[in-house]
A and B are shown apart, each in its own frame.
Chain A
Amino acid sequence: MTLSLSGVSRAFGGVRAVDDATFTVADGEVHGLIGPNGAGKTTLLNLISGLLQPTDGTIELDGRRIDRLPPHRIAALGISRTYQNIRLFAGLSAADNVVVGQHLRRHAPFWRRLLLLPAARREERAAREAAEAGLARVGLRERARLQAFSLSYGEQRRVEIARALASQPRLLVLDEPTAGMNPGEAASVGRLVREVAKEGRAVLLIEHNVRLVMELCDRITVLNFGKVIARGTPQEIGKDPAVVAAYLGDGT
């Protein structure tokens, strides 16, 4: 079991943004987190990545408690994420963004660079090539040198995914990865997510594109007002009357 949450709650004053959430994400599984706006989905991701601490409950990664660790330690244990409101390093090129994403995977000591050793240059070239390969994987090879802020919205989202993957995470957390993308782009992100899962990584994603969620996810957890109201396979979720009432409406 990669990620397991049990009884996780987070209150902001009197508002319980996440209330007693319990679910697990397994290796190689694509796990969808859905729910209406304000259901607490992004708060839950912030709890998992350590940007927030839960007021109650425990979060474990491979049986190890992570809910009191700072974000950089959690990242070092293998959780990498993207953001709903894209947080690229706007002034850096797309490739440089991905190079930053390799931070945990690079072990080049600074003194080697200080002494102008060729090993340092080789390591840098390898990092740059890996970054370009990462961008090629999200279909942005030819955009590598452009500054992040000059890319389109959908392209920025894909750079963010490449950056998150650059740390070779055990668990990839995606917050609305296809928001603002056209159907073609969204479908290619869907394929990428399946590929990542096939490598044995767990993927946890928030997504509002219902059709994509239904196609992509192995299992789905539905949140409403901070509470888990349903868990199961897409088929089960689609039939669940509580979910239909709270979220999907009658149209689907």
Chain B
Amino acid sequence: MSDLLLAYQALFAFVGINGLLALSVYATLSCGQLSLANAGFMAVGAYTAALITLHAPGVPFIFVLAAAALLPALLAVPLGLPVLRLRGVFLAIATIGFGEVVRLFFVNWDFTNGALGLVAIPQRTGLVTIAAALLVALFVLGRLWRSRAGYALEAIREDETAARTMGIRTTSYKLAMLSLGAALAGLAGGLEAHYTFMVSPGGYGFGRVVEMLVQAVVGGTAAFYGPVVGAAFLTVLPELLREVGARLGLAPGPFRLFLNGAILLAVILYLPNGLVSLPARLRRKVLS
């Protein structure tokens, strides 16, 4: 029984961490920018937090997490100034480049044991901390929604040119959201490092940011809580179906990837506004 609880606790912890990561991608998507730098920001946050804990164990955890969020947020500014001039696929490619640069930096940094990464990081976080972080992130994004700034973000997403001629400082808003997304990714990285005891560059590759993006899109980016729904769905579902995969004789890893791909395809084809649009859609179906 206690084993079961422990297993579920880990699952919920990952729902929370993945939820933060999906929100970090949503932050830039909310103003129409597809930035894929967030695995890189997550790595910066994770390494920052891990290094502080390992080298200065006396620092209270809240400050460790603050540093894990702040450093990527600051890093996002010099990155964002040039790359946010790019649009669409060009921005995506440039930010993938940034993510790879960060990953390779840690692969080659001897101080952090290169590709092996840092191990034996004390476990300083649990479900409560992770849940609190997620709730704070949701609260801030929820207050942003439909505020003056929130409307400005929607305007930029819908038509950047029109937004500019209405006095909206589009570059500042885009930069702020890139920075906020970086902070959320870094925070998630710091939490994960202190939950799984280790950080290594391999955990922050291109696949990781694709995972965040898929979760955000599956949940739906029209509402600020959509990405968390997507993250919860795509984190829990493979666990529930683990047994099915095993019966079919499929290895859990590939089965999980296959399932993610199939769900993404289904959502894009049949539910382009994500899982959060499902209730409204069902209601319409029933009424008509």
Contacts and interface: CB of A to CB of B under 8 A. Distances in A.
Main secondary structure of the interface of B (DSSP, over half): helix
A114 B147 CA distance: 10
A76 B166 CA distance: 8
A92 B154 contact: yes
B147 A76 contact: no
B4 interface: no
Interface stretch (A1-9, A82-90, A215-223, A244-252): A82-90
A103 B162 contact: no
Contacts of B143: 110, 113-114, 116
Contacts of A104: 166-167
A103 B158 contact: no
A49 interface: yes
Interface in A68-94: 70-72, 74-76, 80-81, 83, 87-92
B164 interface: yes
Interface in A139-174: 163, 167
Contact of A96 (B144, B151, B161, B167): B151
A51 interface: yes
A231 to B, nearest CB: 26
Contacts of B149: 110
A106 interface: yes
B195 to A, nearest CB: 28
A100 B161 contact: no
B136 to A, nearest CB: 11
A124 B149 CA distance: 12
A104 B164 CA distance: 11
Given A89-B155, A110-B149, A101 B166 contact: yes
Contact of A50 (B154, B155, B165, B169): B165
Q: Interface extent on A, as a size class?
A: 35 or more
Contact of A87 (B162, B167, B169, B170): B162
Contacts of A106: 148
Contacts of B154: 89, 91-92, 96, 100
B148 A103 contact: yes
Given A72-B168, A167-B167, A89 B158 contact: yes
A119 interface: no
Nearest to B170: A72
Interface of A: 49-51, 70-72, 74-76, 80-81, 83, 87-92, 96, 99-101, 103-104, 106, 108, 110, 113-114, 116, 120, 124, 127, 163, 167
8 contacts: A51-B164, A70-B164, A71-B161, A75-B164, A83-B162, A88-B159, A103-B148, A108-B148
Given A89-B155, A167-B166, 20 more contacts: A50-B164, A72-B166, A72-B167, A75-B164, A75-B167, A76-B167, A87-B159, A89-B158, A90-B158, A91-B158, A100-B151, A100-B154, A101-B166, A106-B148, A110-B147, A120-B147, A124-B147, A127-B148, A163-B166, A167-B167
